Amino acid sequence: MATRGPRPTEIVLTETERVELEGWSRRRKTAAGLAVRSRIILAAPMVDRIPKWRRGWG
């Protein structure tokens, strides 16, 4: 079965970037959209397939 769409780009974060994203995802006063995007970026390296991963965010 052929994969569709572009290949995902590998996300490489520095420790400083990771700490900042974790802070945004946990802070109560962070805008909801920013918190969700932060969680997505932090979870991306742990996922082998997007469809399986998306089911956990529904």
27 falls within a domain: yes
Flag whether 7 is in a domain. Answer: no
Q: Which residue has the higher pLDDT, 55 or 37?
A: 37
Domains contained in the chain, number: 1
pLDDT > 70? residue 55: no
Say if 38 falls within a structural domain: yes
- Look up the domain containing 26 and give its range: 15-55
DSSP symbols for the chain: -PPPSPPPPPP---HHHHHHHHHHHH-TTS-HHHHHHHHHHHHGGG-S-HHHHHHTT-
Residue 3 lies in a domain: no
pLDDT in tens, 21-52: 999 999 888 898 999 999 888 887 765 555 65
Domain contains 1: no
